[in-house]
Chain A
Amino acid sequence: MSAETTSIMGLFESEEEALAAINEIKELGWEVQEVHSPIPSEKISAVLKRKKSKIGWFTLTGGITGFITGFSVAIFAATRWNLIVGGKPIISWFPFFVIAFELTILFAVFGNVVGLLTQVGLPTKQDDTYDPVCSGSFYGVLAGAKPEESEKLKDFLQNKGALASSFSQTT
């Protein structure tokens, strides 16, 4: 982005107000840069056309790795001495399945954690535009406009019921 834009944060008390504002901001040709909310909102994600989460792939990869690891470790340990225990075959699929199942879950969770950290983007530096009230009860809609339209955008947000606005300059 070479052009200079001004970001304005509008703080709304409800999801409905925030959604209405987001829709109109887009219709009026301004940019919705970010939305902060105290709870997850599928409606907001849908309006912002967020892409489907990819975390499931991390979880699946972890799960498959765990399943293979579980069987591999059990088979490796059993075949070191090839001793028959309890009349069962050296490689006993049913008991080893228990180990494979547990490690499937464990590694799937590890994959899930890696997915969470990478996809959510944690740990990260707190944004300068973030308003702490957004973790409490407000929906913060960060909108961007050309500097000459910033007052118009601010008025628009206030008319839509935004209780407060914070400003920041970005280029």
Chain B
Amino acid sequence: MSQLTFEEINTTVLKTLDKPTPGYWRIVALLFTGVLVLFGCWGYQIVNGLGVAGMNTPVHWGTYLINFVFWVGIAHSGTLISAILFLFRAGWRNPIARAAETMTVFAVMIAGIYPMIHLGRLWVVFYMLPLPNQRFLWPNFQSPLIFDIVAISTYFTVSSLFWFTGLIPDFAIVRDRSEGMRKKIFGFLAMGWTGKSGQWLNYSRGYLLFAALAAPLVISVHSVVSWDFALGVTPGWHTTIFAPYFVAGAIHSGLAMVITLMIPLRKLFGYEKIITIEVLESVAKTIIFTGLIVGFAYGTELFIAWYSGSSIEQESFWWRAFGTYAPQYWIMVVCNTVIPLAFLFKKVRTHIVALFVISIFVNIGMWMERFVIIIGSVAHDYLPNAWGFFAPTLFEFAIMFGAFCLFFFLFLLFAKHLPSVSMTEMKEHVHHRSHS
């Protein structure tokens, strides 16, 4: 990476903004069809009611909540990379920070859609906001669900502003190298940025403060998401370990998604000299770490269930491992904690195909983790006569498919129309390496 010059960085990144090929638009169109499936199914559900989904007593939080937690989790590693690793001055995050932060913004957006889908009556969504109203009703701010509204909307706002702020110097680079309408658009977005020393001084300070604020925010957001469950007295949920357990899991899944996205991106855009194998290797090493934390959390849950002496807790966890949803449980354990251990071997973590395949396994494993937690606990709580079973309907799978399409649709539009690698941060990285 040290041999890259500033001009090479500009050229490589700006080349990705060249006129898209018909093949690109075909993929975009295909993904847009998937987006239509999402909104079509959602519209159908609004007309016909929540009964079209497989949720029923006792499982009222089905795939909608699973996907909500999944996407919030995906978002988290973007902030870890863009904010927390920025504060730690980890140079390897610079090439992937922009794409990871973009992933955060889109993932939170999709996460935010799910509670609205689950709401059924979408038109009363504003009841959750503290607005003066004819009903004289106010939200209950003691409720973790209201914590969630505040936390997720804060997270989305902060991530979007952080993302845009990071883009300003890059907008100026594109502006200075384009003509016509593109110059006008990027000139508008760059807001007159010219990289004056006074501008940089204040900008760097502001960016640092952004990162310093985003770091505790990201920890708080997934803690709040975990309290949606942990503040309920349901067996398997009511544990103090939930907040750190969820945060670690979120970062685990998000890092896997970063690899899933970065590998095709570097291949398609010729970013091999920017997103080097060492960068991917660093992500893989972090996945080993988060995988071990997640594995430790799984073990702790089982130990505490046994050690508590509570027969309800013991039954709940025994059933998780050997009951109806045992396959999902063991997929979760193997994909999240066993398979990532393959990254201990340098040959595996520096092999592109192996990296990609393992990242997919972790994505699947983390989705299953949310399934096991959300479905498993309520399907099998205190009273045997209230035990039940949940299986997603095709309709829910269609909405899930549509949400994935929406994510990749947005990401693809971003990658071809905005700089997907932060040219400024890459230059800083190259500059610091050559001066250290």
Chain A residues within CB distance 8 Å of chain B? 15, 34-41, 44-45, 48, 50, 53, 55-56, 59, 73-74, 76-78, 80-81, 85-86, 88, 92, 95-96, 98-99, 101-103, 105-106, 108-109, 112-113, 115-116, 119-127, 130, 132-137
What is the chain B residue whose CB lies nearest that of A35? Answer: B197
Contacts of B201-240 to chain A: CB distance below 8 A: 201-206, 209-210, 213, 216-217, 220, 224
B6 contacts partner chain A, Cβ-Cβ < 8 Å: yes
Contact between B138 and A135 (Cβ–Cβ < 8 Å)? no
Give chain B nearest CB distance to A117 CB in angstroms: 8
Contact between B197 and A41 (Cβ–Cβ < 8 Å)? yes
Question: Contacts A53-B202, A109-B213, A120-B202; is A134 near B142 (CB within 8 Å)?
Answer: no
What is the chain A residue whose CB lies nearest that of B199? Answer: A120
Question: Contacts A39-B424, A55-B209; is A34 near B196 (CB within 8 Å)?
Answer: yes
Chain B residues within CB distance 8 Å of chain A? 5-7, 10, 130, 136, 138-143, 146-147, 150-151, 154, 157-158, 161-162, 165, 168-169, 172-173, 175-177, 187, 191-206, 209-210, 213, 216-217, 220, 224, 424, 427-428, 431
Give chain A nearest CB distance to B356 CB in angstroms: 32
Residues from chain B with a CB closer than 8 A to the CB of A78 are 138, 140-142
Query: In whole angstroms, what is the CA distance A90 to B202 when docked?
Result: 44
Question: Contacts A56-B205, A95-B141, A103-B150; is A135 near B176 (CB within 8 Å)?
Answer: yes
Contact between B210 and A109 (Cβ–Cβ < 8 Å)? yes
Chain A binding site: helix, strand, loop or mixed by DSSP? helix
Contact between B6 and A86 (Cβ–Cβ < 8 Å)? no
Residues from chain B with a CB closer than 8 A to the CB of A77 are 130, 138-141
Query: In whole angstroms, what is the CA distance A83 to B193 when docked?
Result: 53
Query: In whole angstroms, what is the CA distance A103 to B147 when docked?
Result: 11
Residues from chain B with a CB closer than 8 A to the CB of A80 are 136, 138
Query: In whole angstroms, what is the CA distance A13 to B259 when docked?
Result: 35
Give chain B nearest CB distance to A13 CB in angstroms: 9
Selected contact of A105 from candidates B6, B165, B217, CB within 8 Å: B217
Residues from chain B with a CB closer than 8 A to the CB of A37 are 195, 197, 200
Give chain A nearest CB distance to B212 CB in angstroms: 9
Question: Contacts A35-B197, A105-B213, A105-B217; is A99 near B206 (CB within 8 Å)?
Answer: no
Would you give 23 A-B contacts (Cβ < 8 Å), ordered by A?
Answer: A36-B196, A38-B195, A39-B427, A39-B431, A40-B203, A55-B202, A74-B141, A77-B130, A77-B140, A85-B140, A86-B142, A92-B142, A95-B143, A98-B147, A101-B220, A102-B224, A105-B217, A106-B158, A109-B157, A122-B192, A135-B169, A135-B172, A136-B177
Query: In whole angstroms, what is the CA distance A153 to B242 when docked?
Result: 66
Residues from chain A with a CB closer than 8 A to the CB of B199 are 120-121
A-B contact count (CB 8 A): 173
Residues from chain A with a CB closer than 8 A to the CB of B209 are 55-56, 59, 108, 112
Contact between A55 and B154 (Cβ–Cβ < 8 Å)? no
Residues from chain A with a CB closer than 8 A to the CB of B201 are 40, 45, 50, 53
Give chain A nearest CB distance to B292 CB in angstroms: 29
Selected contact of A116 from candidates B146, B154, B165, CB within 8 Å: B165
Contact between A99 and B147 (Cβ–Cβ < 8 Å)? yes
What is the chain A residue whose CB lies nearest that of B157? Answer: A106
Contact between A15 and B431 (Cβ–Cβ < 8 Å)? yes
Give chain B nearest CB distance to A78 CB in angstroms: 6
Among A86, A133, A136, max chain B CB count under 10 A is at: A136
What is the chain B residue whose CB lies nearest that of A119? Answer: B202
Give chain B nearest CB distance to A113 CB in angstroms: 6
Residues from chain B with a CB closer than 8 A to the CB of A35 are 196-197
Query: In whole angstroms, what is the CA distance A126 to B187 when docked?
Result: 9
Query: In whole angstroms, what is the CA distance A34 to B198 when docked?
Result: 9
Contact between B158 and A136 (Cβ–Cβ < 8 Å)? no
